[in-house]
Amino acid sequence: MQATYDVVIRHAEIVDGTGAARFEGDIGIDGDRISRIGDLSHARGRREIDAVGLVAAPGFIDAHTHDDRVMLSAGDMTPKVSQGVTTVIGGNCGISLAPMPQPAPATITPPLDLLDASGQWYRYARFGDYLDSLRTQPAATNCAMLVGHSTLRVITMSDLGRPANEAEIAAMRGHVAEAMESGAIGVSTGLAYAPAMAASTEEVIEICRPLAHHHGLYCTHMRDEGDDIMESLDETFRIGRELGVPVVISHHKVTGVNNFGRSQETLERIRHAMARQPVCLDCYPYPASSTILTYSHAVGSSRTIVTWSRALPQYAGRDLADIAQEMGCSLEDAVQRLLPAGAIYFRMDDADVERILQFDETMIGSDGLPHDEQPHPRLWGTFPRILGHYCRDLGLFPLEKAIHKMTGLTAERFGLADRGVVREGAYADLAIFDAGTVSDRATFAKPVAPSDGIHTVLVNGEVVWRDGRSAGARPGRVLRRAVPA
């Protein structure tokens, strides 16, 4: 009797996400899982996908996003599925959409406004309420969510310019416990941002105490990525050790001309820490960062592009130096006139970016900001840029290694069971692409552009991207972190 599958992908070059060598085969899918891998010439599929000349890989896992709101407000997730991304990690850099006591404040404290400047999406009093909304209104991608330390400080403290007191720490710790019980995978911090700068190391440790009981992660945008980066790394490692939980160093980089080349030093420190405790890191493949606009960032950058401005929206997409000249004022005055605003900062060295990407344990994260009027191109181009520019063109690593960094490694580090691999029994999250043509088209001048070479993307067995357009399906799920064996 002829076997029948819901979907059969035929004649694919399979790269399974483990780093193992590629092989040719067919993939049979039933429901949301991969049922068979091998020669399925005597089977049929209710839906057939011809993958001759194409690679079939696990769907890419974006290790660092700010997709908390866009999954609800634009759930087709076109910037992500068009790249082959099937799972996103949200709630990073200390910024999460929940919890937020109701009614939400009329003015949203930066950088929380990176998710929503209006406040209308800060509508969830409990983290569990937010996750319930994601479950009842699923997006095209899966997600695993962190609760943000800066958000907790904003809702708990009247004075953000000091460390939290015992009562405030207890209140924030309660929010962490609720979030973890509801399905969060950990806590994120953004100690480089104003709402969290005054937080002591001890405050972070005490707030994060529930992580150990719930097998959570500590993910951090460290206090400093420039001159004091080594001290920030040591603080990060200490927090992980004292809590007894894994640490994720977010978007690892070294910034400022004086620090060019120091990635050799930071990676050696990270490698040494990995021998003593669970530590991992992610990186995006660009020499420019993007966040809220500040004068301190701008003055230390070779170029600054304004991505949005609530005060003067007409300047989105313009260089800050040109804006200042047009205004007839100093750079500092121009920043003040534009605020609140966002920006792209060119303040990294390409050699450092390549060295960090090449590091064995580096995962790939976009750190894209989906609500910027003129976003950083990483929002649309991160994963094809790895496959095209860094893997195929520069030969930084073989295809199997590149895919492992974007799939199996990330799933393992974040504890996403049966994700990030192509194997029988795993979830059918798959990216089918042309390894010879895949490339990013998003640029700093034209940042909104789907990439080339992405053929078909499936999430939980359903096609979400096909023939250069969204398929309209929204089969994404809220993922929990698997309890370590």
* pLDDT, tens digit (0-9, with 9 covering 90-100), for 276-312: 999 999 999 999 999 999 999 999 999 999 999 999 9
For tokens 């940042």, the residue is 447
297-309 per-residue burial string, b: 16 or more CB within 10 A, e: under 16:
bbebbeebbbbbb
User: By C-alpha distance, which of 18, 124, 141 is closest to 89?
Assistant: 141
| Three-state SS letters, 338-385 | HCCEEEEEECCCHHHHHHHHHCCCEEECCCCCCCCCCCCCHHHHHHHH
**What does pLDDT average to over the chain?**
97
Average pLDDT of the residues in 449-461: 98
By the 8 A CB rule, do 190 and 162 touch? no
Q: What are the pLDDT digits (tens) for 34-55?
A: 999 999 999 999 999 999 999 9
Instruction: Give the residues across from 189 on adjacent strands.
Output: 220
Please classify residue 65 by burial: count the beta carbons closer than 10 Å to its beta carbon, then call 0-12 exposed, 13-18 middle and 19+ buried: buried
The arrangement of secondary structure in 298-341, i.e. its CATH architecture, is 2-Layer Sandwich (3.30)
Statement: residue 341 has pLDDT above 70:
yes
Statement: residue 391 has pLDDT above 70:
yes
Statement: residue 368 has pLDDT above 80:
yes
Residue 422 CA to its chain's centroid (Å): 22
For tokens 């405790």, the residue is 277
Whole-number Å distance between alpha carbons of 284 and 91: 17
268-280 per-residue burial string, b: 16 or more CB within 10 A, e: under 16:
eebeebbeeeebb
Positive or negative torsion for Cα 420, 421, 426, 427: positive
Give the pLDDT band of residue 223 (cuts 50, 70, 90). Answer: very high
Give the pLDDT band of residue 403 (cuts 50, 70, 90). Answer: very high
Q: Could you say which of 3.40.1160.10, 3.20.20.140, 1.10.10.970, 3.40.50.720 is the CATH number of the domain covering 60-297+342-414?
A: 3.20.20.140
Statement: residue 453 has pLDDT above 80:
yes
By the 8 A CB rule, do 66 and 92 touch? yes
Q: In what order do the strands lie in the sheet with 303-309?
A: 288-292, 341-346, 303-309
Statement: residue 484 has pLDDT above 90:
no
Q: What are the pLDDT digits (tens) for 57-114?
A: 999 999 999 999 999 999 999 999 999 999 999 999 999 999 999 999 989 999 999 9
Statement: residue 485 has pLDDT above 80:
no
Annotated domain spans of the chain: 4-58+424-470, 60-297+342-414, 298-341
Q: What percent of the chain has pLDDT over 70?
A: 100
Please classify residue 448 by burial: count the beta carbons closer than 10 Å to its beta carbon, then call 0-12 exposed, 13-18 middle and 19+ buried: middle
Q: What are the pLDDT digits (tens) for 7-24?
A: 999 999 999 999 999 999
Please give the CATH topology (third level) of the domain spanning 4-58+424-470.
Urease, subunit C; domain 1 (2.30.40)
Q: In what order do the strands lie in the sheet with 279-283?
A: 60-62, 85-90, 142-148, 186-190, 217-221, 247-249, 279-283, 362-364
Largest Cα–Cα distance in the chain?
A: 79
Give the pLDDT band of residue 2 (cuts 50, 70, 90). Answer: confident
pTM beyond cutoff 0.85: yes
Q: Which two tokens stand for residue 345?
A: 């900062």
Statement: residue 1 has pLDDT above 70:
no
The per-residue pLDDT for 275 is: 98
C-alpha angle 315-316-318 in degrees, rounded to nearest 5: 70
